[in-house]
Structure 1
Amino acid sequence: SVLLGGALGVGYEDWSHWLPCDSAIALQTASVREAVPYTRSIAHPWGWQWQIPLQHRVGNGVVFSSRYTDDETARAALLGNIEGEVLTPHRVIRFKPGQREVVWKRNCVGAGLSSGFLEPLESTSIHLIQRTAIRLLQMFPKDGIRQSDIDEYNAQMRHELEHIRDFIVLHYHLQQRTDSPMWRDMREMPVPASLQHRLDLFRETGRVFRVPNELFTENSWVQVLLGQGLMPEQHHPSADLMGDRELSSFLGGITTRIEKTVVQMPSHQQYVARYAPAAVVKAPVPA
């Protein structure tokens, strides 16, 4: 940020000790099959790869740590794990995970990359730009800038970014991989105190709480916590009110209703073609 970091001297908090990935390579390929309604995130020994099916092409990329591999190894892994004709050139993008110490100072408010950056595992950049605009409208000065507004704005933005940071760090820290130095280091590293509290609370009680305006819901946290193998030592007493047979019948009924509904629905490709068709355009070539 030329203004915040340069002219106003606002420092930058480096989070790379929690989020080691600092590089990315992105490219687009031609579609070779019908699009599916989800993004794939594929682990590599030094980072991870994304595959995002769009209407007429597929977005691909790798995110990696320069501490654990080099550009050519990451590029070769990406090119070896894609399908379809490559439509765009590719180049290495560098970034430093972290945030500005404050994002509003005097008459300057940072938005987007000028305020901070988190790696793209949860694709939160556009959300944070939108939240910046909404929050600034809520606190927009009428008769001069007040320090209380600045302090409140900075506190809210900091909490929001740290919440997202913790959720992303969770993916790295709680995994069970032992096949490479990066993943072993991520399992053993100390995590932010705010994340450690969430981990301890869930491990001991099975509880997850969400503060208002946090992006990720309780369900999102539970899916990752359980999916990565963290099982609670206790559960809420109300969970014992339904017996195993009754619970099995209840969940089985839900499964049956879902299956009956799904077979009547169009495929993802058919739905998009009907309600959100896009013209076939040539993929732009980056400058």
Structure 2
Amino acid sequence: MNGEPIRKIVIVGGGTAGWMAAAAIAKILGEFPGLSIQLVESDAIGTVGVGEATIPQILSFHKLLEIDENEFVRETHATYKLGIEFVDWLRPGHSYVHPFGTYGLDMLGIEFHHFWLRGQEAGETVPLDPYSIGAAAGRAGKFFWPQLNNPRSPLSKLAYAFQFDARLYAAFLRRRAEAHGVIRLEGKVIQVHQDGETGFVESVELEDGSRIEGELFIDCSGFRSLLLGQALQVPFEDWSKWLPCDRAVAVPCTLGGDRQPLTRSTARPAGWQWRIPLQHRIGNGHVYSSAHMEQDKATDLLLANLDGEPLAEPNHLRFTAGHRAQFWEKNVVALGLAGGFLEPLESTAIHLVQSSIARFMAFFPTTAFGEQERLRFNRDTRREYVDIRDFLVLHYKSTERDDSEFWRYCRNLPPPDGLAEKMAIFEGSGRVVREHDEFFTEPSWLAVMAGQGITPKGYHPVAGMLDEAETKKRLEHIRQVIAQAVSQMPTQEDFLQQQGSAIPVGERASA
């Protein structure tokens, strides 16, 4: 073996990222002889704690940890999520859903949406949403398990994720991690000690003078990036040219409004507002550009658009879109905000942590810290950030809005090359291009490009093999089958009660 097995792992920072890492590493490596996993966090340092919406990939992470779904939903006060509704993004008064799962039914060997485009050319005016079981059920407030063993059912095309209280999720994972031997140490890191020759981190020093030594360090210290950014001086790649929002104000409120299993993003004059309905409260936030709106105005706008009474004082956040030039440098790996930040427009923050954990475990080093594995980890992680960045920029770039300086800036911004090519191909022929098995699938790109008003000039020639009447007939049948399936699904409230994962009504006000 090239190098000795690593036996001393130190995670700096708790929160969602730290405890996800602790729980996963302990689950995978927990039986390794002599292994020590320590997590250092301070109760005096707050966490961001606003990333409460997820995407379906979280199910794989939970499967790895053997998490019981009903227990998780109950303990984290979670609700289900079938997609994201985008309100006023194309223009005021317009909305569409980016659903999980797929659209319609592929026919004649090509993707369904080409037949939808053929129908649009023939005079059909029905948007994409009614052709998605996720979008239709989400708008109707319905939920049920996907029926993967019944391919003839629209429910076979359903996919889902969760919306949950991030702090409760961290506590939930902490209990699992500690049960697998992870040791939590309370304290604030005040100094990082490095080897004078190699620069490798040897230990972190706490306020009480104690030193926590390790062979591998996981930096989950949030925006501070104590190890990767401050100690190892890894530079930050700034993407604010493409993603100009650099501030957020967040506040939870009491329950009110609809209870759809959807995250909602509403465009505002200088950014957008999120709405995440949980079982016990609603999470809200306003992401905005400080160059186009002042903090007080952004806060007032958020507070004026809540569905319930505020439950806390507004929490103000500052950030810059982008990432560190390397995510793994020497013996330090950064997860979450310590490595990079992309605004939560598509709920990718938690996924980026979990995918990095999975990628790092695949390349888990020995004390030799192989260079090739480190380079590959950094290259693959950066590529994932770039793919998500381009998808986020699409929302801002493709819009009819010109009612504020912010939106005019976004409309006129030259997109990254990869995004420009995707948009041009879709506009020219209706084809959706997916690179290198990238994170967002063809249905996701379709949902946002169509939802944001990109109208293709053509479609796959095979779609023209059906005459107009037959095309319209099939489209109507697909809509009817989906609508019928949705009508038979229980509401999300009833489903939670049936599964025993609903929290008691009396706990909602005090949770």
- Fold similarity call, TM over 0.5: yes
Question: How far apart in 1 are the matches of 2:471 and 2:226?
Answer: 58
Q: Contact (CA 8 Å) 2:429, 2:460: kept in 1 or not?
A: yes
The structure richer in helix per residue is 1
Aligned amino acid, residue 65 of structure 1 = S
Aligned ranges 1:1-287 → 2 under 5 Å: 1-33=225-257, 35-142=259-366, 144-275=368-499, 276-279=501-504, 280=507
Secondary structure class of the residue paired with 2:230: helix
Provide the residue aligned with 2:212 in structure 1. none
User: How far 1:215 sits from its partner (Å)?
Assistant: 2.1
Seen in structure 2, the aligned counterparts of structure 1 residues 154 and 46 have a Cα distance that, compared at 3 Å, is same
Aligned amino acid, residue 495 of structure 2 = Y
Seen in structure 2, the aligned counterparts of structure 1 residues 26 and 273 have a Cα distance that, compared at 3 Å, is farther
Question: How far apart in 2 are the matches of 1:99 and 1:34?
Answer: 36
Aligned amino acid, residue 278 of structure 1 = I
Provide the residue aligned with 2:137 in structure 1. none
Q: Contact (CA 8 Å) 2:254, 2:311: kept in 1 or not?
A: yes
Instruction: Name structure 2 gaps, 5 residues minimum.
Output: 1-224
Secondary structure class of the residue paired with 1:233: coil
Question: How far apart in 2 are the matches of 1:29 and 1:175?
Answer: 30
Aligned amino acid, residue 221 of structure 1 = W
CA-based RMSD of the aligned residues comes to: 1.6
Deviates more, 1:81-90 or 1:13-22: 81-90
Aligned amino acid, residue 274 of structure 2 = W
Aligned amino acid, residue 350 of structure 2 = I
User: How far 1:220 sits from its partner (Å)?
Assistant: 0.8
Instruction: Name structure 1 gaps, 5 residues minimum.
Output: none
User: How far 1:283 sits from its partner (Å)?
Assistant: 6.0
Q: Contact (CA 8 Å) 1:25, 1:63: kept in 2 or not?
A: yes
The normalised TM-score by structure 2 is: 0.54
Deviates more, 1:21-30 or 1:200-209: 200-209
Question: How far apart in 1 are the matches of 2:368 and 2:509?
Answer: 48
User: How far 1:140 sits from its partner (Å)?
Assistant: 1.1
Deviations for 1:130-166, whole angstroms, at most 9, x for unmatched residues?
Answer: 0011001111124622211111111100110000000
Aligned amino acid, residue 201 of structure 1 = I
Q: Contact (CA 8 Å) 2:429, 2:458: kept in 1 or not?
A: yes
Question: How far apart in 2 are the matches of 1:199 and 1:69?
Answer: 29
Question: How far apart in 2 are the matches of 1:143 and 1:108?
Answer: 12
User: How far 1:262 sits from its partner (Å)?
Assistant: 1.9
Query: Which structure is richer in relative contact order (CA contacts within 8 A, separation 6 or more)?
Result: 2
Secondary structure class of the residue paired with 1:17: coil
The normalised TM-score by structure 1 is: 0.94
Deviations for 1:93-148, whole angstroms, at most 9, x for unmatched residues?
Answer: 11111011111111111111111000111121100000011001111124622211
Give the share of equivalent positions with the same residue, in percent: 42
The structure richer in strand per residue is 2
Q: Contact (CA 8 Å) 1:88, 1:283: kept in 2 or not?
A: no
